[in-house]
Chains A and B, each alone.
Chain A
């Protein structure tokens, strides 16, 4: 199956972000112990792995903007809205469980990971009978 030009660009950009994330994660973990007391550098290194993840959000946004097929674009928008709604709902419920000491945030907890997982769920919901 051949990819449409917007999907091809999306795939290339996504791979670029994932490779950048892997490299940033390795670099940050290796270099952080040496610079942990040098505050600006420590902040920079801590933020470094987050930047490619932010990049993925931009890549998904670009896919929506660049998709020429209006029906497919509507499905992508629907998918991201469902994913965002599910993520916010789960995060809000979880936050209240934490507020009442009934739960805690897991180690390495990342809202982006939850959103990406919900994006997968939303793909099935949005494209159900589409």
Chain B
């Protein structure tokens, strides 16, 4: 799933390690989520959204919207 985590992280000048520490996950996990190789569970998605003080939809691009862009 595409997302804006990399941009949001850069705006705050956080490294992947910084974000991982704040979310209490490994840096590898942040990298996998950021690059869209792993879709986080709903609880983790909420934690990410709360951390950035945004809604989930403002961070993660719904697959339906992503697919429609491709056509």
- A residues bordering B, Cβ < 8 Å? 4, 68-72, 74, 129-130
A70 close to B28 (CB less than 8 A): no
**Quick check: is B26 within 8 A (CB to CB) of the other chain?**
yes
B26 close to A74 (CB less than 8 A): no
A71 close to B29 (CB less than 8 A): yes
A71 close to B24 (CB less than 8 A): no
For B29, the chain A residues whose CB sits under 8 A away are 69-72
* Interface residues on chain B, size class: 10 to 19
A71-B32, A72-B26 given; name 14 further pairs at CB < 8 Å.
A4-B26, A68-B24, A69-B25, A69-B26, A69-B29, A70-B29, A70-B44, A71-B28, A71-B29, A71-B38, A71-B40, A72-B25, A72-B29, A130-B37
Interface of chain A, main secondary structure: loop
B24 close to A74 (CB less than 8 A): no
Write out, one digit per residue, whether chain B residues 21-59 have a CB within 8 A of any chain A CB (1) or not (0).
Answer: 000111011001100011011001000000000000000
A-B contact pairs, 21 of them (CB 8 A): A4-B26, A68-B24, A68-B25, A69-B24, A69-B25, A69-B26, A69-B29, A70-B25, A70-B40, A70-B41, A70-B44, A71-B25, A71-B26, A71-B29, A71-B33, A71-B38, A72-B25, A74-B38, A129-B37, A130-B32, A130-B37
Complex CA–CA separation, A70 to B32 (angstroms): 11
Complex CA–CA separation, A70 to B39 (angstroms): 10
For B44, the chain A residues whose CB sits under 8 A away are 70
For A72, the chain B residues whose CB sits under 8 A away are 25-26, 28-29
Partner of A130, one of B24, B28, B41: B28
Q: Which 3 A-B pairs have the closest CB atoms?
A: A71-B29, A69-B25, A69-B26
For A70, the chain B residues whose CB sits under 8 A away are 25, 29, 40-41, 44
